[in-house]
């Protein structure tokens, strides 16, 4: 297959460029900017995958903090990041997304390094609020960076490719994290923490080297002395906020595989405990195989709306299948849980692709920092609320709880269409044409 240039030819409008950023196999980026972004993403994902399996255990087993207190501290840190997302987005509009993103990742590296010095709860709270807060705030800024450096015509496909890279990197990092976890020594934990810090610092230094795409090079963000309503339009944009909230509801699905299913398997089914690991492997493998292909079909707003609707429906189906697994024998419980996980990951790749398209397509292109900050804050809020919501519904009330979740997901998926129609009626300044 002939490869597609990453940027339009001279005189060619970016929106008319061929919409391919990867080769047919979906594994090799054809865009040099995407290749560099992929390298930075892979390095960072390796560090995150390395750290996630043992982060909490370091503070409880090595530092000696109470597990409940650690959980409370992580919640406070997450809330800090959500609150900081919109101001960080405005900073990205004012001083450049690449510069602000580099500072946030560099700050995360410094704060993460501080973990090895923690010897009290006060020190833990300071370090984790800084590290998690900066990392969470950087998510929306990353969205603005991609808006600036990736061609609009291939941006959603490129985001899908980067998500595939994240899954690969997290998986590889997780293997080495498991080794450190098995060693269970202070030296192993400290080594992992320091390596994770380096995987933030390295990409932070290279981030400013990502070149601006033609559509962003001459774009001017609202000036510092512009009216507040213009500079902070995203937080007053009710249609966009509505779409953000609906997307955050669908984001709760991530808590199904990370929190809900492991608890459900152990407490409510006859399936062996290793089933939780099996479902995680199935999830990661299918995301790698499907995300880019699905994103290519959801890169326009009408297709994105359909993707979100289908995602809500499929999530409702997966909830029903998970509920049924409680009354089955071990073998059939594993089969049902695996089938539900497959349906759920189909919903996941659809909602991710649809969310990217809507997050960019309904935003004011002159203020992507604030808009992506708002959208990122919504996603972070959904991921934070997810564990508690899944626990008080499915885990606490069984089939009834799964039904509540299913209705919630389906309702959010169907509500996206009228919310998007409202947003598109609200003004013609949205999107790249602005």
pLDDT tens by residue, 65-96 = 887 888 888 888 888 988 888 899 888 888 88
Residue 308 clears pLDDT 60, i.e. is over it: yes
Report residue 274 as tokens.
């290793």
337, 195 Cβ separation under 8 angstroms:
no
Report residue 248 as tokens.
């955050």
Please give the torsion angle defined by the CA atoms of residues 226, 230, 234 and 238, in that order, rounded to the nearest 10 degrees. Answer: 150
Report residue 81 as tokens.
């990041």
Helices (H), 52-184: 55-57, 67-95, 97-113, 121-149, 155-183
Within the chain, how many helices (H) and strands (E) appear?
18, 0
| Nearest alpha carbon to residue 292 among 388, 150, 163 | 163
Residue 230 clears pLDDT 80, i.e. is over it: no
What does the DSSP 8-state code read for residue 30? Answer: S
Residues 324, 114: Cα–Cα separation, whole Å: 46
| Nearest alpha carbon to residue 322 among 335, 334, 311, 336 | 336
Cα 272 to chain centroid distance, Å, stands at 29
What does the DSSP 8-state code read for residue 65? Answer: -
Q: Give SS3 for 61.
A: helix
pTM above 0.75, yes or no: yes
Residues 217, 365: Cα–Cα separation, whole Å: 12
Residues 99, 78: Cα–Cα separation, whole Å: 23
Residues 203, 40: Cα–Cα separation, whole Å: 5
The reported pLDDT for the residue numbered 410 is: 98
357, 156 Cβ separation under 8 angstroms:
yes
Annotate 382-423 with DSSP letters as a single string: HHHHHHHHHIIIIIHHHHHHHHHHHHHHHHHHHHHHHHHHHH
- Burial class from Cβ neighbours inside 10 Å (0-12, 13-18, 19+) for residue 110 reads middle
Average pLDDT over residues 191-199: 95
The reported pLDDT for the residue numbered 167 is: 85
The reported pLDDT for the residue numbered 218 is: 54
Residues 397, 421: Cα–Cα separation, whole Å: 36
204, 62 Cβ separation under 8 angstroms:
no
389-425 burial, b at 16+ Cβ within 10 Å, e below that, comes to bbeebbbeebbebbbbbbebbbebbebbeebbeebee
**433 confidence band (pLDDT: 50, 70, 90):** very low
Q: What is the pLDDT of residues 324-344, one digit of tens each?
A: 999 899 999 999 999 999 999
Q: What is the pLDDT of residues 232-291, one digit of tens each?
A: 677 788 999 999 999 999 999 988 777 788 889 988 999 998 898 788 888 888 998 999
Residue 226 clears pLDDT 70, i.e. is over it: no
Residue 322 clears pLDDT 80, i.e. is over it: yes
């Amino acid at each position: 297959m002939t490869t597609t240039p990453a940027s339009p030819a001279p005189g060619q409008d970016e929106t008319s460029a061929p919409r391919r950023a990867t080769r047919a196999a979906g594994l090799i980026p054809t865009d040099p900017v995407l290749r560099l972004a992929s390298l930075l993403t892979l390095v960072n994902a390796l560090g995150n995958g390395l750290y996630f399996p043992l982060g909490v255990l370091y503070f409880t087993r090595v530092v000696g903090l109470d597990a409940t207190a650690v959980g409370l501290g992580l919640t406070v840190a997450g809330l800090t990041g959500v609150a900081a997302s919109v101001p960080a987005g405005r900073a990205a509009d004012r001083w450049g997304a690449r510069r602000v993103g580099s500072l946030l990742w560099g700050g995360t590296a410094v704060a993460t390094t501080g973990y090895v010095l923690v010897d009290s709860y006060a020190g833990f709270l300071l370090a984790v609020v800084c590290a998690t807060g900066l990392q969470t705030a950087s998510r929306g800024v990353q969205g603005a960076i991609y808006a600036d450096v990736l061609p609009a015509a291939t941006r959603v496909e490129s985001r899908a490719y980067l998500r595939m890279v994240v899954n690969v990197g997290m998986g590889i990092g997780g293997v080495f994290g498991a080794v450190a976890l098995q060693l269970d020594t202070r030296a192993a934990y400290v080594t992992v923490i320091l390596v994770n810090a380096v995987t933030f610092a390295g990409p932070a230094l290279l981030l400013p080297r990502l070149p601006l795409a033609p559509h962003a090079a001459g774009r001017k963000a609202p000036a510092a002395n512009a009216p507040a309503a213009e500079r902070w339009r995203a937080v007053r944009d009710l249609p966009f906020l509505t779409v953000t909230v609906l997307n955050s509801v669908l984001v709760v699905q991530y808590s199904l595989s990370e929190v809900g299913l492991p608890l459900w398997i152990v407490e409510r089914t006859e399936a062996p405990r290793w089933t939780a690991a099996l479902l995680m492997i199935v999830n990661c493998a299918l995301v790698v195989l499907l995300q880019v292909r699905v994103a290519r079909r959801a890169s326009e707003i009408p297709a994105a709306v359909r993707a979100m609707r289908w995602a809500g429906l499929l999530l409702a189906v997966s909830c029903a299948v998970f509920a049924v697994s409680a009354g089955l024998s071990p073998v059939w419980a594993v089969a049902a849980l695996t089938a539900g996980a497959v349906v759920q990951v189909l919903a996941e790749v659809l909602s991710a692709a649809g969310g990217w398209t809507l997050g960019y397509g309904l935003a004011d292109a002159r203020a992507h920092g604030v808009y992506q900050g708002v959208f990122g804050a919504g996603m972070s809020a959904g991921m934070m609320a997810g564990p508690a919501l899944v626990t008080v519904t499915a885990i606490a009330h069984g089939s009834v709880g799964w039904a509540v979740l299913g209705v919630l997901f389906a309702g959010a998926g169907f509500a996206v269409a009228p919310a998007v129609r409202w947003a598109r009626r609200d003004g013609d300044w949205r999107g790249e044409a602005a």
